[in-house]
Amino acid sequence: MNVFIDLGSHTGESTRDLWPDYDRVYCWEPNPAFWHCYDGLDDVVLIRAAAGVRDEVVPFYIGTDGKMQGSSVCGDKVTGDLSATPVDVQSLRFASWLLALEPAIITVKMDIEGAEYAVLPDMIATRAAGKVDRLLIEWHHEKIPSVSQQQHDDLVAAIGCAVACVEQWTR
């Protein structure tokens, strides 16, 4: 079975053309403004949560650019014209969810606006990263002041050792 997991799926516009190549598609999107975009898509499982490192409610800063792009759980993100007042959204521990998934060939697209610096180390520590065959990732280190270049470089090297294929993702 081929599985596609879209973390930070937004409206699904950036990956929708890939979905027919997979037997099962999971889209993770915490922003309720986009949930209607998945209505009627019987082959897509929408997970109405942010990918995180714990099952909890977290603050979510919505992008105010009109398209709500760049919305993030990272309050220190410096791009995306984030709202000053966050909304509360559900966050689920992605590593635990991934470990519970039945064996499959798994592709993960990760565009989670800085949260990758928490989620990926958790995936490595729990060995959940080993279940991923292909990781398409958009890195956001230059947008998160609390992440140093060294931290970014170390994480890139570590995830490269844990996942068979890691590729830069851009919309």
Dump pLDDT digits (tens) for 107-134: 999 999 889 999 999 999 999 999 999 9
Report the pLDDT value the prediction gives residue 66, as an integer from 0 to 100.
Answer: 65
Report the pLDDT value the prediction gives residue 68, as an integer from 0 to 100.
Answer: 65
| Spatial contact of 4 and 109, defined as CB atoms under 8 Å apart | yes
pLDDT band at 36 (very low <50, low <70, confident <90, very high): very high
Domain extent, residue 9, equals 2-54+94-168
Residue 32 resides in a domain: yes
Question: CA 6 to CA 164: how far, in whole Å?
Answer: 18
The CATH number that applies at residue 44 is: 3.40.50
Helices 116-125 and 149-162, interaxial angle, to 10°?
40
Q: What are the angstrom distances between the C-alpha of 74 and each of 45, 52, 78, 107?
A: 25, 11, 9, 24
Structure pTM? 0.93
* Averaged confidence pLDDT in the chain: 92
Residue 150 resides in a domain: yes
How many domains does the structure of the chain reveal? 1
Report the pLDDT value the prediction gives residue 64, as an integer from 0 to 100.
Answer: 77
Report the pLDDT value the prediction gives residue 72, as an integer from 0 to 100.
Answer: 86
